[in-house]
Amino acid sequence: MTSRKVVELFYDVVSPYAWVGFEIMCRYRNVWNIDLKLRPALLGAIIQGAENKPPVVVPKKFKYITTELMRSRDYFGVPLHPPSDAFKVMFQKGSLSAMRFVVAVQERENGGDKQVEQVSRELWRRIWSEDKDITQPASLSEAAVKAGLSDSDIKELLELSDTDEIKDKLKNTTQAALDYGAFGLPMMVCHVNGKQDMFFGSDRFEVMAHCIGEKWLGPQPVKAAASM
Amino acid sequence: MTSRKVVELFYDVVSPYAWVGFEIMCRYRNVWNIDLKLRPALLGAIIQGAENKPPVVVPKKFKYITTELMRSRDYFGVPLHPPSDAFKVMFQKGSLSAMRFVVAVQERENGGDKQVEQVSRELWRRIWSEDKDITQPASLSEAAVKAGLSDSDIKELLELSDTDEIKDKLKNTTQAALDYGAFGLPMMVCHVNGKQDMFFGSDRFEVMAHCIGEKWLGPQPVKAAASM
């Protein structure tokens, strides 16, 4: 007996690698026999909670990652373009208000996760494609408009973002990620037949596919499946 | 006009991920249109030279890597089995004498790299399959015997290992890795049509294949190619 496979995807829109993981998983949920659960969390709190250091504090890693992101853009087809001051954007400005907003969108959405998917993508696009702010309410509004939300919805969501309910939800999801063993994002937890497997990063999709009994078809699985 | 592709593989037998990278590249050199150049280097000096920290200093990373290595064993078909005290083995005992020995084997070998490949693999097997020492001359001898070297060759190689010539070669290769931007191992530098691309780790083979214009056929390319 095979029960439905569930993949929890923990992400933060401040992380470019999380964007790659997000897009790949959003593509594969139409190909693999999985339920994808979007789990917005806070990268800064995970790095701190795990007593980790961001890789960019090592200059040679920073240089490598810059090159590597451009390869990921080309290979995975995610329009990454580093902001002018990536360190400041990621580790000083951060994503607290943006991720609270994403959680609010998720909380309000019924019958699916199309809105939370679109809003997340538009926030990534701002920070990791267009070098735009994601900390101010006006920035969140602009992203939400692009994701197709109405002005009245956005007003309500901005208010909701600031409630204890939403703050606690973001904290709890972040804690859940830490409890699974996260030390960074993206992090995927695959639940298959009562077993759970945690994967970190955006470079183990092929191994993950193998572990959950699905087939890795490369970064554009829909095209690959169509041509088979 | 396409010139021959060259892949330099920088490795140290103290690193389990380098073992994965080594085996995959040794398999693919029979599949891809590449010249593989084995470049034995010293991981400890690279980590220090890059002002990096080994990932295992973060407890959650250490735990994750332990799980991840078992997945790599199964998926990539490399018989990894962590030694009882991996931290001590990797960062206290280290691999200085072992890597000098590997460099000596390479220096002495004519017309190919079969011996250096075999000796490297036997050293990895000792440390990362069988929880055995690789620091003592007797340990190096045992590995070399398994790799098919004669007693007289081994005696000569142990003496050669201790010369300035070999010490300097290991230093120079390690410095070359740092100059390419290494902060850990394995590290692959691909030279294609006058362009060079550096890849770190054992989780970007698919992207690497794409960058050098070759096809990724999974961890067992020879079987995959035979069935195509």
Q: How far apart are CA B147 and CA B77, in angstroms?
A: 20
A59 touches chain B (CB under 8 A): yes
**What is the Cα–Cα distance from A104 to A140, expressed in whole angstroms?**
12
Q: Is B75 in contact with A207 (Cβ distance < 8 A)? A: yes
CA distance A136 to A141: 9
- B10 touching A (Cβ < 8 Å): no
Task: State how far the Cα of A209 lies from the Cα of A206, in Å rounded to an integer.
Answer: 5
Q: Would you state the pLDDT for residue B225?
A: 75
Q: Which residues of A touch B60 (CB under 8 A)?
A: 50-52, 178, 181-183
Answer whether residue B218 is part of any domain: no
Among the partner-chain residues A53, A60, A211, the one whose CB lies closest to the CB of B50 is: A60
Tell me the angle at which helices A151-161 and A164-180 cross, rounded to the nearest 10 degrees: 70
Condensed to tens digits (0 to 9), the pLDDT of residues B163-190 reads 999 999 999 999 999 999 999 999 999 9
Percent with pLDDT over 90 in chain B: 85
Lowest mean pLDDT among A4-13, A182-191, B59-68, B196-205: B59-68
Can you read off the two tokens belonging to residue A195?
Answer: 């077993």
Q: Which residues contact B122 (CB under 8 A, 6 or more apart)?
A: B143, B144, B146, B147
Task: Provide the domain limits for residue B63.
Answer: 5-212
Nearest of A190, A146, A52 to residue B60 by alpha carbon:
A52
Nearest-Cα distance to chain B for A181, in Å, is 6
Q: Is B88 on the interface with A (CB under 8 A)?
A: no
The verdict on residue B223 lying in a domain is: no
> Which listed residue (B15, B97, B129, B139) is catalytic?
B15
Q: Which two tokens stand for residue A76?
A: 């995975």
pLDDT number for residue B228: 67
Nearest-angstrom CA–CA distance, B135 and B181 = 28
Cα dihedral A135, A139, A144, A149 sign: positive
Q: Which two tokens stand for residue B15?
A: 């690193």
- Taking the CA of residue A64 and the nearest CA in chain B, the distance in Å comes to 7
**Is there a catalytic annotation at residue B202?**
no
Residue A137 in any domain: the answer is: yes
Pair of tokens at residue A227: 């041509």
pLDDT of B227: 74
Q: What is the mean pLDDT of residues B189-203?
A: 95
pLDDT at B10 > cutoff 70: yes
Domain tally, chain A: 1
Q: What is the CATH number of the domain that holds A22?
A: 3.40.30.10
| CA nearest to B187 within chain A | A64
pLDDT category at B2 given cuts 50, 70, 90 is low
Residues of chain B positioned with their CB less than 8 A from the CB of A80: none
> What number is the ipTM of this complex?
0.89
Residue of A nearest to B182 (CA): A60
| In-domain check, residue A218 | no
Determine the Cα–Cα distance for residues B212 and B115; give it in Å rounded to an integer: 27
pLDDT tens-digit profile, chain A (228 residues): 457 899 999 999 999 999 999 999 999 999 999 999 999 999 999 999 998 887 777 889 888 998 999 999 999 999 999 999 888 898 899 999 999 999 999 999 999 999 999 999 999 999 999 999 999 999 999 999 999 999 999 999 999 999 999 999 999 999 999 999 999 999 999 999 999 999 999 999 999 999 999 999 999 998 777 776
CA distance A51 to chain B (A): 7
Residue at A124 is within a domain: yes
Q: Which two tokens stand for residue B145?
A: 């015997």
A70 inside domain: yes
Cα A32 to its chain centre, rounded Å, is 19
CB–CB contact B52 A60 (8 Å):
yes
The reported pLDDT for the residue numbered B178 is 97
Q: Are B220 and B27 in contact (CB under 8 A)?
A: yes
Contact call for residues B84 and B131 (beta carbons, < 8 A): yes
CA distance B4 to B1: 10
DSSP-derived secondary structure for A84-101: TTHHHIIIII-SHHHHHH
Residue B122 falls inside a structural domain: yes
In Å, what is the CA distance from B139 to each residue of B85, B97, B107, B167? 18, 10, 20, 19
Shortest CA distance to B112 belongs to which of B29, B12, B183?
A: B29
| Residue B90 covered by a domain | yes
Q: B15 falls in which pLDDT band (50, 70, 90)?
A: very high
Contact B64 A201 (CB under 8 A): no
